[in-house]
Structure 1
Amino acid sequence: MTNVKELEKLRPCGRLETYSTGRHYLGYYNNVGLTATYTSPSGSSEPLETIIYGALRIVIAEHTILSAIPLDEEKSYPDVYFARLPSIDLRTCVEFRQRETKAPDNVGDDEELKNLLTEEHSRNFKDNLGTKPSWRLIVLASSGSTNTFTAAWFFHHALADGTSATLFHDTFLKVLNSPSQDPSTEPIVKFPNTPLPPFFEDQHPLPISWSFFIRTLAKIFFPSIFGKRSPTLWTGAPLPATLTNPESHFQLLDFSAETTQRLAKLARKHNTSITATLDCVFATALFAHLPADQYDQLISSNPASMRRFLKDVPDTQMTNALTTYTYTHYRHKGDQKSGLANFDWAEAQKNKDAINSTLALEGRDNPVALLRYAPNIHEYLTGHLGKARDASFQVSNIGVVKSPAEGAWKSGRMVFSQCANPVGAAVGMGVVTGGDGCASLCFYWGDRVAEEFISKVVGEVKVIIEGLVQEENATK
């Protein structure tokens, strides 16, 4: 049995990383996932395991964080730390599974992938600690096929943020198309002795203004005055007083490359962005299926990457650097039964302005900075139990992941998924556009939100997006 205390100590986990180690330790949040389908017209004479192992050896060598595991998760900053595994056996963290159903060629419901997400997001990284990395790769392929497979990568959120997850697949695809880089396909991989990059708070000072600090304190100590909650705000059911192994549920919604492209053009035409548009679409769909006489407000709380504000961080380096922005949505006056009729492009423009205002701060007044005032991360997290949530929903968009024109292997449909955050928003939506140009929306929610309700909301999102594109076509 491995004595984890004998592993090489790399550095302390930063406060944002410790937020993830705390959630992982408590069983609140297990992992993040990014799934991609890979195809090659000619296939390979090599077994799929040989192809995957050979590629992973290079991916691991290029991304040092993949050698690190967080230890002492029961503690708080600065006592939680990353240690390096000297080597790993890929057979312990790569699983090959046979596809029972054919993956959809175009836009369609992939029930098998949805079931995989449900299963994998319920698995943490606590088993056999010190012998396996804090990530795993699940490979789905039809029997005997070496020219098409789906690679689902799941990782501890302390290792990287969602945007950095795209770097794993970028490197993986690059190596698939350059197999001569490392001819070895041995499953035992030794990790390089490369230092880890600094944590977020060491890369950015995260200054806090007095006004931001005082507003935050006022809401905490005088909630009835400065943090008064509207009775018509929907944030799902209150959190239970105790929480043990909460489950996550998923539903997938894809759009064709044509619809995706037209929606992006439509957003630009209205001086907004895809993220802001989807945020407003989600809110409109929720309002369409919430009682109008009970709820007229929603709050979205969405992550935004801070990578652009970090100095000396290469574009190819995985990191974990985030901020959040919130936006309050109000039910459309003269509310119609149709969600599409209630969608407002002016609201999407205001939403984009909120994103721009957050980014204009360049990391100042980042809520992450407030974690320095939470000496015990576990008490901070459990302190949310028995209370109402702060946010209604979350939209996390990691953008477009393109497949290079050169090379036989191409990446296609992608899915960005994560556990439902039991101390965060009631429902969430992960968004990514893969190499096939199709936008994929992954909806996730916890036990205290009804699946029937979410199914109606997802259906409404589909109707609104397709309706917006059709309306635009009709006006041409």
Structure 2
Amino acid sequence: MEKQSLEPTFAKLRPLGHAERYSATRSDLGIYLNVALTARYKTSGKVAVKPALFHALTTLIAKHPILSTIPWATETTKPYFVRLPTLDLDHVVSFFEDDANEEWRDFVDKVLEKEHNTPFESRAGTSLLPFWRLSVINHLNILDTFTLIFVFHHSLMDTQSAHSFHQELEEYMHRYSGQDLPVNTVICPSTTLLPPLEEMCNLSISDSFHLSQSTYHEPSPESWTGAPQSTPVKTRFRSIWLTEKDTRVLRNSSMRNKCSVTATLQALLAHSIFAALPSQYTILQGDCAVSLRRFLPQPIEATSLGCYVGSLSVVYHRKPTFDWDDAFHTKKAIRETLAMEGRDMPVGYLSSISDMRSWMREKLTKKRAAAFELSNIGTGLNAKPGGDGSHFRIESMLFSQSSSACSAAIKISVITGPDGNIALGFSW
């Protein structure tokens, strides 16, 4: 983020919470930059995209104050949020066409790879910028469709929040009648920010868990963890879109074996990575992100935007073929972690770190702990505003994120779109 003197027009808001501070610091150090949630829309062609989108964004900015705030003083031990006075949507949203000679998914992958290597800045010329942005891609070979890429800073929200953002955006675009003239410059609301995670959830940690987090354990030679933690980070990205048949087989197999799709995917990924590695590697650690939103009281609701996520780790051992026992083991680990309702999680350990920058810099050059990380935000957006008669309807979705210098070597981001098909985004 650009370092500039704090302007008098900026309103100083609350301090960053521990998870927010973690995300702001690693972004500031170039360790991990951003997250994206992408939606491909079907449109009736009867309503122009830009005015409908700007109308929807104006409504969302008025409803969610986090969309007009940015983390500030991230180079210090006491960062805080500030509110931008206005947002110029012409500087937040970009419009362009794809390459008619390239398959649309390949083109979107290239755009996402570029986005995940582009940090957020607080200013473009004289315009102040939020820590989120949108790209609208018009597909030349696919009539009546466009792709909308929402890129955001992880200190502002988690991917469940981005999912809600897309759902509301679809709804407000559908409601746009074309009669109200949307504005390009939006005056930001003065609404109070929602409290950070630790003020709403018990993130206490035991002495033994504190010791496990504060002590560096060198991975064994049999454990593959990719390259050592280092900067600069150059994200590579590719997506895999499962067909309707493949998605159905995965779901049915998971149900038949009494496993969740997340647990099955985690075990499948471990087996697939083993298959690509030399036989000397017999151990893999797989991390798994879990939403803590279910444990949070009011004022947190389904549509609240914020960062409410934790994580867990599972160790896998090489086997000659895929073994459902690994999926059961993963399901058990997820169930036991959720039963703790936020206690003894890495996100809770963050409260013990006074100097986040020094702590993260100490990780650099050391071996990673995890080979891969799975983040599955599941299924959503099934209810389509206006049904088949909607002017704007999301058909499919893709979840992606930057690679990181200080976590798993491979990140796999998973979402099931309104079409019922699973998409996987691989970052490394």
Structures share fold, TM-score greater than 0.5: yes
- Does residue 423 of structure 1 match 2:406? yes
Residue aligning to 2:6: 4
* 1:202 shift after superposition: 1.2
For residues 112-147 of structure 1, the C-alpha deviation after alignment (integer angstroms, 9 at most, x for no partner) is 001101111111112517701110000001369994
CA 1:404–1:211 in structure 2 vs 1: closer, same or farther (change >3 Å)? Answer: same
- Partners of 1:365 and 1:286 lie apart in 2 by 28
CA 1:127–1:60 in structure 2 vs 1: closer, same or farther (change >3 Å)? Answer: closer
- Which of 110, 123, 131 is 1:128 aligned to? 123
* 1:266 shift after superposition: 1.5
Give 3-state SS (helix, strand or coil) of 2:13's partner. Answer: strand
Matches within 5 A, 1:34-45: 34-40=37-43, 42-44=44-46
Whether the 8 Å contact between 1:235 and 1:392 is mirrored in structure 2 is yes
Whether the 8 Å contact between 2:205 and 2:344 is mirrored in structure 1 is yes
- Partners of 1:399 and 1:250 lie apart in 2 by 20
- Partners of 2:245 and 2:381 lie apart in 1 by 15
Deviation larger for 428-437 or 177-186? 177-186
CA 1:144–1:274 in structure 2 vs 1: closer, same or farther (change >3 Å)? Answer: closer
- Partners of 1:229 and 1:164 lie apart in 2 by 34
* 1:94 shift after superposition: 0.2
- Partners of 2:359 and 2:7 lie apart in 1 by 27
One-letter code of the match for 1:118? E
- Partners of 1:398 and 1:311 lie apart in 2 by 20
- Does residue 442 of structure 1 match 2:407? no
Whether the 8 Å contact between 1:43 and 1:146 is mirrored in structure 2 is no
* 1:87 shift after superposition: 1.0
Residue aligning to 2:169: 172
Residue aligning to 1:413: 396
Residue aligning to 1:365: 344
Matches within 5 A, 1:306-317: 306-312=292-298, 313-317=300-304
One-letter code of the match for 1:274? V
Residue aligning to 2:33: 30
For residues 152-193 of structure 1, the C-alpha deviation after alignment (integer angstroms, 9 at most, x for no partner) is 000011000111110110100111221159923111111121
Residue aligning to 2:160: 163
- Partners of 1:276 and 1:144 lie apart in 2 by 37
Give 3-state SS (helix, strand or coil) of 2:227's partner. Answer: coil
Whether the 8 Å contact between 1:206 and 1:366 is mirrored in structure 2 is yes
- Which of 204, 214, 223 is 1:233 aligned to? 223
Whether the 8 Å contact between 1:276 and 1:349 is mirrored in structure 2 is yes
Residue aligning to 1:323: 310
- Partners of 1:92 and 1:282 lie apart in 2 by 39
Residue aligning to 1:254: 241
One-letter code of the match for 2:221? P
CA 1:345–1:144 in structure 2 vs 1: closer, same or farther (change >3 Å)? Answer: closer
Residue aligning to 1:403: 382
- Partners of 1:377 and 1:233 lie apart in 2 by 27
- Partners of 1:9 and 1:413 lie apart in 2 by 38
Residue aligning to 1:271: 258
Whether the 8 Å contact between 1:410 and 1:435 is mirrored in structure 2 is no
Residue aligning to 2:100: 101
One-letter code of the match for 2:73? D
- Partners of 2:97 and 2:208 lie apart in 1 by 56
* 1:238 shift after superposition: 1.9
Q: Percent identity over the alignment?
A: 34
Residue aligning to 2:194: 197
Residue aligning to 1:188: 185
Give 3-state SS (helix, strand or coil) of 1:440's partner. Answer: strand
CA 1:118–1:168 in structure 2 vs 1: closer, same or farther (change >3 Å)? Answer: same
One-letter code of the match for 1:120? E
* 1:92 shift after superposition: 0.5
- Partners of 1:360 and 1:21 lie apart in 2 by 29
RMSD: 2.1
- Partners of 1:178 and 1:145 lie apart in 2 by 24
For residues 244-292 of structure 1, the C-alpha deviation after alignment (integer angstroms, 9 at most, x for no partner) is 3x11001110011232133112111111111111111111111111111
State the TM-score, normalizing by the size of structure 2: 0.93
- Does residue 348 of structure 1 match 2:327? yes
One-letter code of the match for 1:58? T
One-letter code of the match for 1:113? V
Matches within 5 A, 1:285-296: 285-292=272-279, 294-296=280-282
- Partners of 1:100 and 1:175 lie apart in 2 by 29
One-letter code of the match for 1:331? R
Whether the 8 Å contact between 1:175 and 1:181 is mirrored in structure 2 is no
Q: Can you give the 5+ residue segments of structure 2 that lack an aligned partner in the other structure?
A: none
- Which of 408, 411, 415 is 1:432 aligned to? 415
- Partners of 1:101 and 1:53 lie apart in 2 by 27
Give 3-state SS (helix, strand or coil) of 2:150's partner. Answer: strand
Count of aligned pairs: 418
Whether the 8 Å contact between 1:48 and 1:146 is mirrored in structure 2 is no
Residue aligning to 1:86: 85
* 1:432 shift after superposition: 0.5
* 1:352 shift after superposition: 0.5
One-letter code of the match for 1:51? A
- Partners of 1:204 and 1:378 lie apart in 2 by 25
* 1:361 shift after superposition: 0.3
- Partners of 1:270 and 1:184 lie apart in 2 by 54
One-letter code of the match for 1:368? V
Whether the 8 Å contact between 1:403 and 1:410 is mirrored in structure 2 is no
CA 1:48–1:360 in structure 2 vs 1: closer, same or farther (change >3 Å)? Answer: same
One-letter code of the match for 2:255? R
Give 3-state SS (helix, strand or coil) of 2:377's partner. Answer: strand
Residue aligning to 2:203: 206
Whether the 8 Å contact between 2:213 and 2:349 is mirrored in structure 1 is no
Q: Which runs of 4+ in 1 moved over 6 A?
A: none
- Partners of 2:234 and 2:314 lie apart in 1 by 27
Residue aligning to 2:63: 62
Give 3-state SS (helix, strand or coil) of 2:128's partner. Answer: coil
One-letter code of the match for 1:377? M
Residue aligning to 1:455: none
